[in-house]
Structure 1
């Protein structure tokens, strides 16, 4: 079983249009509303593959009620932590060529008591979990050390210790790295910010992942957008990719990749293959729809440990 925590969830409304025209009326060609938030997306993708998952999230206002209602029919068990504020709503505008414009609200401000209640809910849900995933931005009122504290608390909890993955960015990710999570999943930009230097070639990413692992992270999974993904773990560095597909939406593709990696065992070549199959399938689906097993094609994924370290990176990070 895999537990996810989304500190700042919401509703993701996706609108498909012919072309975004600023200052004009834009007629929608289609639209959908999905449960939103990185951890929520990971749970959705896992549930679509028949993997038991629990999504821990704050819940408040009509958006919170709608979010829970959307998750219930798809097999995601939800642990709601009541908050006084309302969850956010995000809008994504998608054009036929795959160009994506996102308008994300900041979300509610949480009180100290609400933050502590969320921590207790995660620890309570983690008792029988193989993994706990903390993912996404932190809402107002939550200290940048929240993920780091979560890693430390889960490490010291009971005889059974779930492995911990953090998928964040900026200072919350940097502080979590120093707490020593088992896995992080940055994209190229997030990893570059973490190590404080640009990453223009695959060799730069390999060096950056090695630096992060020296700080106590067991495994680093880096999404490279159109260039695939890099996996740096104990005794191995692997690069994988899949053939290009028609992009309908990149929203949630990185979350699907992480779900695939965990569904594939959370370690090694087979997990990287699953990660790339999930991520590739996700970009071919509308909105933030998560792939089902019938959408996956593991046979087209290529993984190698013979890295072209001089390969320039040019894909859009997911």
Structure 2
């Protein structure tokens, strides 16, 4: 099994955090978004992962030079070969997959690194394909699928009238990666664009018309990491799931001086808390110091110093310093507010 992860977007909606790091490498509860994504997929697939191919954007558009090494480490952690490709120009979802054409063979999963999920189903690898979906209250904002007798019959983009409440979350399984590549090449060779781009939905429809049967893979939770507030909420959900699974995410060397940790929390190594209460639902990266503060429901990265604060629904980048009276803040790496 191969996993293809298109992640070339610059993540402009999550700025200032994505000015210094690609959105999929944003760390939530000790692991990057993309690492959690591929680990979750590996659990659902329940078979060895041969290769993980990442499609990133060019360094000139905000991807740090060490991005490739970070991604290769993620693949290695799952015992898989790592490959990194570059999409020089954003030309649509299908084009992003095409950039990894040298890795498109055999059974594969395509997972756009904009979302996380939690699921307890096991993928049927004998199906022609599968599409991960989540039941939503307002399907008009999503692409949805219609299902009959356990098989997807239609793909409908942002329906104005109700046809289904099963939203496509951006993760797909294809039994034959070579066939997927052929369909994408057909789009590109014939310049078949939609809104100026080559789209995966056109590939899905073409495969379906040729007789391919896609089944839905229903997930229990679908977590967005597109903007600051949804990302903080995703941190909250992940911490809750980790607690339910019985995982302890508080490092053993945390220094507590007249301080409390209200779990669930992720607290990294070499953290010092002085006259502080942290939690619930806080991720706090290593080498950080919190003094005279109360922090709840927040995502805080590494090497951060916070003093005299009352924070809720906040997101703070690496190497930041904060001493202020705002409650809900979003500041990027190396920012100082004192």
- Both structures adopt the same fold (TM-score exceeding 0.5): no
Q: Per the shorter chain, which TM-score range?
A: 0.3 to 0.5
| Larger relative contact order, structure 1 or 2 (CA cutoff 8 Å, min sep 6) | 1
TM-score relative to the length of structure 1? 0.34
Q: Which has the higher strand share?
A: 2
Q: Which has the higher helix share?
A: 1
